[in-house]
Amino acid sequence: MKRTLLSALTVLVAAAAIAPVASAVEPANFNIQEARLEALDRRTKNSVHKLRLEHLNNQTKAIEDIQAARLDALDARTKAIDNIQEARLDALDARTKAVENIQAERLNALDARTKNSVHKLRLEHLNNQPKAVEDIQAARLEALDARTKAIDNIQEARLDALDARTKSIR
């Protein structure tokens, strides 16, 4: 067993002594391989980077195209809605104008009726006024006639009385 341990120790020491020499030789081989790997990595990275950039550019273009299509669709919808609203407003304006015209005609008809009835009432009133004035004048004339007759009667009575006195004195 001691021998086995000793031989293992010997192998270890020999390996430790040879390792620096072996590592000095290996880097040259590994440097070439590393350079090749790095070149391949660069190429791969460049091509992968280019592919990624192309893919991203294509995605960006596709997204821009989709957004442009969506904007066009939204613009078309907005224009359609604007046209519909404009047509509705025009229809409402036409209805409002029609209602205003109907109301104006009704008011004109009412005004004409009112004017006619007021005119008729005025004419009646004016016709009734001369009749009333004539009636008043007739009443005044009758009153004057009655007064005149009363005065005439009084004067006649006085004259008769005077005549009677005069006759009795003679």
Interval 116-142: pLDDT, tens: 888 788 878 777 787 888 888 888 989
Q: What's the confidence (pLDDT) of residue 67?
A: 95
Q: What are 18-41's pLDDT values in tens digits?
A: 766 555 555 555 588 888 888 877
CA atoms within 13 A on the CB side of 145: 6
Closest CA to 27 of 40, 19, 15: 19
Q: What's the confidence (pLDDT) of residue 114?
A: 87
- Report how far residue 89's alpha carbon sits from residue 15's, in angstroms, rounded to the nearest whole number: 99
DSSP assigned state of 170: -
Question: Rg for the chain (alpha carbons), in Å?
Answer: 68
Whether 159 has a pLDDT exceeding 70, the answer reads: yes
CA atoms within 13 A on the CB side of 115: 6
**Helix or strand or coil: residue 61?**
helix
Q: What's the confidence (pLDDT) of residue 27?
A: 54
